[in-house]
Amino acid sequence: MRNALAAEWLKLRTVRAPYGLVAVIGLVLVSGALLSWLMVQDYDTSAAAEQARFASADSSVVITPVVQFLVAALGALVATSDPRLAALTAVPDRKRLLAAKTVLVAALAVVLGAAALAVSTGSSWLIMGDRPPPIAPWDGLGDVLPWTGAAVLSILVTGLAGLGIGLAVRSTAVTIVVVGLLLWGLPAITPMLPPPWHIDASAVMVPYLVWEVAGVVEDPPLGPVAAVACLLAYVMVTLSTGTVAFLRRDA
């Protein structure tokens, strides 16, 4: 297992795409901090009545969906970077190779997700300073941790989903399209459904599940436990499908 994991890590390090994805995450974080700063500057120069109508200047809310997508793309790269399964020459056991890919994607997703959320929430906190709500949404660290934990969990889920879909379809481009539909396409369509389907369908979309897991939504359709179960279902379905396709595929 250790050798398989080392081989997958070495293979990932030898291509340029992962470095590009990490660079884009860095650019997104800088853009998020700039957005927070601009909002705070606007807030400071607005009248009291207008200040009460401001949204939160927390940039992590903006950057989380982008990081979800980029980590899913990273999972797709791990799944599809070896289309001829040349790695089976070094690691003939497909189950061990699959386990190594899964552990690698999970570790990278948690590290990148935690780092991105720490930087975005930390920079937003520094920029907002001691300003009152609504521009500053937190009273203390206890208000931050549920949201950041839920966001990191969702990034882990999308990374593993990208891996599973990539293993199933064997195409990075197709995987990215499918992930885009899951993260942005379907969540944009479900609110247009007739009631009460629009609420039920929206409640199980990944972008909304993050808020439900964090427990920051008033009267949510799903509680935190049910929302976590839905996120885990995304992982189980995609990874199970990818596992079956990978184990049955001809080298």
Rg of the chain taking only CA atoms, in angstroms: 20
What mean pLDDT comes out for the span 13-29? 92
Distances (CA, A) of 137 to 96, 140, 170, 238: 45, 9, 42, 35
Q: How far apart are CA 117 and CA 100, in angstroms?
A: 26
Predicted local distance difference test score (pLDDT) of residue 8: 81
> pLDDT tens digits, residue range 174-231?
999 999 999 999 999 999 999 889 999 999 999 999 999 998 888 889 999 999 999 9
13-38 CB burial, b ≥16 within 10 A, e <16: eeeeebeebeeebeebbeebbebbbe
Up-side HSE of residue 225: CA atoms within 13 Å toward CB? 0
Q: How far apart are CA 72 and CA 106, in angstroms?
A: 11
Calculate the average pLDDT of the chain.
89
Backbone torsions φ then ψ of 241, nearest 5 degrees: -65, -45
- pLDDT classification of 163: cutoffs 50, 70, 90: very high
Distances (CA, A) of 99 to 38, 96, 154, 234, 239: 44, 5, 20, 18, 11
Q: How far apart are CA 145 and CA 152, in angstroms?
A: 10
What mean pLDDT comes out for the span 75-101? 75
Domain with 185 in it: 2-248
pTM as predicted: 0.92
How many folded domains does the chain comprise? 1
> pLDDT tens digits, residue range 28-71?
999 999 999 999 999 999 888 898 888 888 999 999 999 999 99
